[in-house]
Amino acid sequence: MKLWHKLIALWIAADLLNVLWGAIIILQGGTLDDAKSATSPMKIVVFVLGGITGLALVKGEGEFFKPDERTLKISGVAFRYSWLVMMMTVAALIGIETFYPVRLTVPQVLSIMGAAVLIIPFVFLQYFERKGDVE
């Protein structure tokens, strides 16, 4: 097992411990502010472990994968399509803001953009990988 595998596992474990500790505080009758203040030192540990993991990856402990020509082509096409969908999402949100068919709050707009940025690229990537090849 490579060093960055171990660091990522440790990073995820620390993050899960952070969430668990905050949930225990809330379940015992604490408020959300109590949980935030109690888990602040653990967040520092998570950020430090993330930085160490990033440094281990940059140092050359190993690559995530070695892309070939087909993989690069599929990922390029998938992210190009996801970029177009994201721009269409932005245009739709501008249309909603201009014509007011629905009132959206800031968290709703951010969640829509988060879905467009994070989920849609992976959906297209899976689609094109299952399709086999792009033209």
What is the pLDDT, as a whole number, of residue 31?
78
CB 21 within 8 A of CB 39: yes
AA identity, residue 56: A
CA dist 33 and 36 (Å) reads 5
Kindly report, residue by residue over 35-47, the tens digit of the pLDDT.
777 777 777 777 7
In terms of pLDDT, which residue wins out, 120 or 51? 120
What is the pLDDT, as a whole number, of residue 77?
84
- Of 17, 4, 23, 3, nearest to 45 by C-alpha is 17
Domain spans of the chain, in order of start: 3-58, 69-131
By CB neighbour count within 10 A (0-12 exposed, 13-18 middle, 19+ buried), where does 26 fall?
Answer: middle
pTM for the structure as a whole: 0.49
In terms of pLDDT, which residue wins out, 133 or 122? 122
* Residue 1's pLDDT band (cuts 50, 70, 90): low
What is the pLDDT, as a whole number, of residue 43?
72
CA atoms within 13 A on the CB side of 52: 15
Kindly report, residue by residue over 43-101, the tens digit of the pLDDT.
777 777 777 766 766 665 455 556 678 777 888 888 888 888 888 888 888 888 888 88
